[in-house]
Chain A
């Protein structure tokens, strides 16, 4: 194929319907697209390739998302939501929610469906709704970059997410106006980006240390596009923020020793400390010493403002965070044990997450896995890139690149004595079907309850209940004599069907289990409509601001030339006429700006442009 033909074919592919890949992280999110067959991360308006997963509502009722929300996360703590990912898809009575009730600064309340809601400025939001605000932001970032609307997305989730959490993430996408065509595991996405363009057939470890969580996954990458997560474990409360907290403690202790003032008691000071700590931590990945300079950090009793100035070395940072790094390695050991693999069987280590840039982390990983980690992929971007690759493959129907979905957890039923009998093991590719035969546990038992569960524990109580039903009309017989066949089936959409059949009488009963995010379809539709309205208003505001800026620039330019034009040609009739027209144009433009009507302003902008050209002709400017 000629180069020009190849280029135009690639361009045509790029113009096909776009699918964006979104890494919806606990602390930071990232969006990528496949451009010219290369995965590319899209920067936001500020030029950053990641956006903080933080949503806030100001006192004026304004919604803030991303970097700007992060900058006031402490001064407006009660109305700023962070780490919503830890709550998405969870039930109100889950241990994670109970823990969050005690540790988060924002108000968590119970929802109407045993789900979790968050209260911000007297308004209640579901967790998918909060996450949808972040996804909406990422969608907008992509649309601005592409200059075209985006409706389809692939979103990544942690490998340990259950069906409810995945469904809640899909609902979040739907509320944001995205058709989520696939949910894929984060380590899988990372491995996909890692293996992109290469023929990989290996067992790899994905070491993901992000802002709020640590996940280690062991994957088998097969040649048929099968990415199997053999083991995954981690700590949902271990991440970059903990490293920041150590720096803050160090700064606060030093300041208190010098001035007797605890900076933690002042929100403004704490906000600045947090920003400075994170900045210093990032700098120390590249240099050995970072200066922390915070003038006027606090006012003393005498109304005199005090300054904080400190110098943090890389060695000191490593000393402060040594135990956190050790914890990461301990968890990695656990992952290998769960996978029943030795270190030598790990063929590559992929680093994911900004914290993996820290030299001490990289050394620890290298020491533990006895090999240098793979640095060919960008740790902040690799997951989003993998999602973008998968999205493009789905649209183009590239079967060789398709990931096969696997069940993240085992499926089975509760049996006598509260045991869990597994029918479909974890990581089984879907679609799939499996049957097992059971019997009664009591004499003359005429009915049996089938309790469908998902989880990896042998103890049924530790697993999650998906549904239950009763099979009646059993033949009266001694226990153990009646045979009941239970069949589990999972289709490509992830819907689980369970069938129980009396093999003797043929009597059967079944249920279909669909994941629930805690939101009803009507609620999702309503929230999606609200979100859409919000975006329309925001776009209208943006259009107004853009038009206003153009008009004001022209008004200032014409105003600046008015005196000279009057001097030059004001004596002649045509000159007076021109000046008069110019004044009228200015007045009309100012009135249009006051009206806040973007279209009206743009009409006046055209008139202003003509006036400016005319004036420039007179004064001879450029």
Chain B
């Protein structure tokens, strides 16, 4: 996993079929691709507690990641009738999260042009027909939802304009839709999507020191993709260096809330005692760390999950995460 703040390298070639992309966070962090052009299914292909024991469980939305992110952010910006009424398409998203997502995020001015993006874009644009890369035709891009608030002072996110220094594409027609703020991975074939693009405006970089900019970007990206544990790790890294970074603090809190809900629902009833269902011989072959070992030592078939969390000696979130991993790996069962 790249450390927060470092720019991930672009892959040399796009995969054959983007629908089959399977990104591993530990290897090749995906470039951010807006849901309108493709969708990325984020999978944690490593077993929990695998090679990198600091890895956290990645959230796996029940719907495609783009749809999940769209729904989440739609609730945040309160798109109203354009999306079938209040809270339309938000089934399954905990109300507490929806409420929090509706908190104000101040609009930001366009961010400074990214030299890497410009160089890559220029290279792409210079490719002629028959090349491996084809820019997505802007007419295939859905337009912004009609009810998107235009007032920059509004509490919802606004459409980000394309940086003025970017040259318009030579072909096809002039760009009309919402801009992308990261490297576009053009697909070999595009299936236009029917859902609308949603872009997000987080507080301006002016509020963060320059070295936090990349980390903030990655944090937002991870959050948007539903990787709440990854986003939280980056947010905590930012806060350790810049404790007053409000956006990181706010996002960290949101991530924690989501993760608490997820882990809580996985563990179900905290008044039940867990039991070890794996033999000691099998246990020793597992690649657990000492914290999991400590929690396992608390599992005696009598102490409830709540009691174990009380005496775990770790943060409640970490303890719940480890217990979920132990549950998933069938080391313990509950009740």
CB-CB under 8 A from B145, the residues of chain A are none
List which B240-281 residues lie within 8 A (CB) of chain A.
269, 271, 280
Known A72-B313, A75-B313; further 19 A-B contacts with Cβ < 8 A? A58-B311, A60-B310, A62-B310, A64-B310, A68-B303, A71-B303, A72-B310, A72-B312, A267-B313, A268-B313, A272-B294, A275-B297, A293-B280, A295-B283, A295-B288, A296-B294, A297-B293, A298-B290, A305-B287
| CA of A62 to CA of B316, assembled, Å | 13
> Could you tell me if B290 and A305 are in contact, using CB atoms closer than 8 angstroms?
yes
CB-CB under 8 A from B307, the residues of chain A are 68
> Could you tell me if A296 and B290 are in contact, using CB atoms closer than 8 angstroms?
yes
> Could you tell me if B289 and A305 are in contact, using CB atoms closer than 8 angstroms?
yes
Contact with B311, one of A75, A269, A303 (Cβ below 8 angstroms): A75
- For chain A, the count of residues having a C-beta within 8 Å of the partner chain is 30
> Could you tell me if B313 and A76 are in contact, using CB atoms closer than 8 angstroms?
yes
> Could you tell me if A272 and B311 are in contact, using CB atoms closer than 8 angstroms?
no
> Could you tell me if B290 and A269 are in contact, using CB atoms closer than 8 angstroms?
yes
A46 within 8 A of B: yes
Can you offer 14 A-B residue contacts whose CB atoms are under 8 A? A58-B311, A60-B316, A68-B307, A71-B311, A72-B311, A75-B313, A267-B313, A268-B294, A271-B313, A295-B288, A295-B293, A295-B296, A296-B293, A305-B287
B53 within 8 A of A: yes
| Shortest 8 CB-CB contacts between residues of A and residues of B | A296-B293, A75-B313, A72-B311, A268-B294, A71-B311, A299-B290, A296-B288, A298-B290
List which B193-241 residues lie within 8 A (CB) of chain A.
none
| CA of A296 to CA of B307, assembled, Å | 21
CB-CB under 8 A from B153, the residues of chain A are none
A307 within 8 A of B: yes
**Chain B residue with Cβ nearest A303:** B53
Q: Mark A539-565, 1 if CB is under 8 A from B, else 0.
A: 000000100010010000000000000
| Chain B: minimal CB distance from A78 (Å) | 12
B119 within 8 A of A: no
| CA of A75 to CA of B294, assembled, Å | 11
| CA of A272 to CA of B297, assembled, Å | 7
B284 within 8 A of A: yes
Interface residue tally on B, bucketed by range: 20 to 34
| CA of A276 to CA of B290, assembled, Å | 16
CB-CB under 8 A from A60, the residues of chain B are 310, 316
**With contacts A64-B311, A275-B297 known, is A303 near B289, CB below 8 A?**
yes
CB-CB under 8 A from A46, the residues of chain B are 302
A93 within 8 A of B: no
| Chain B: minimal CB distance from A391 (Å) | 31
Which A residues have a C-beta under 8 Å from some C-beta of B? 46, 58, 60, 62, 64, 68, 71-72, 75-76, 266-269, 271-272, 275, 293-299, 303, 305, 307, 545, 549, 552
| CA of A50 to CA of B129, assembled, Å | 83
B291 within 8 A of A: yes
CB-CB under 8 A from B292, the residues of chain A are 296
| Chain B: minimal CB distance from A498 (Å) | 51
B305 within 8 A of A: no
Tell me the dominant secondary structure on chain B's binding face. Answer: helix
B298 within 8 A of A: yes
> Could you tell me if A268 and B291 are in contact, using CB atoms closer than 8 angstroms?
yes
List which B279-335 residues lie within 8 A (CB) of chain A.
280, 283-284, 287-294, 296-298, 302-303, 307, 310-313, 316
**Chain A residue with Cβ nearest B291:** A268
CB-CB under 8 A from B294, the residues of chain A are 268-269, 271-272, 296
CB-CB under 8 A from A293, the residues of chain B are 280
| CA of A76 to CA of B315, assembled, Å | 12
| CA of A269 to CA of B294, assembled, Å | 8
| Chain B: minimal CB distance from A273 (Å) | 10
| Chain A: minimal CB distance from B335 (Å) | 11
| CA of A175 to CA of B289, assembled, Å | 44
CB-CB under 8 A from A62, the residues of chain B are 310
CB-CB under 8 A from A275, the residues of chain B are 297
Contact with A266, one of B287, B290, B311 (Cβ below 8 angstroms): B290
Contact with B290, one of A68, A268, A552 (Cβ below 8 angstroms): A268
> Could you tell me if A68 and B310 are in contact, using CB atoms closer than 8 angstroms?
yes
| CA of A75 to CA of B308, assembled, Å | 13
| Chain B: minimal CB distance from A269 (Å) | 7
**Chain A residue with Cβ nearest B52:** A303
Q: Which of B280, B288, B290, B310 has the most CB of A within 10 A?
A: B290
> Could you tell me if B310 and A58 are in contact, using CB atoms closer than 8 angstroms?
yes
**Chain A residue with Cβ nearest B294:** A268
**Chain B residue with Cβ nearest A62:** B310
Contact with A305, one of B288, B310, B311 (Cβ below 8 angstroms): B288
| CA of A18 to CA of B320, assembled, Å | 44
| CA of A456 to CA of B86, assembled, Å | 83
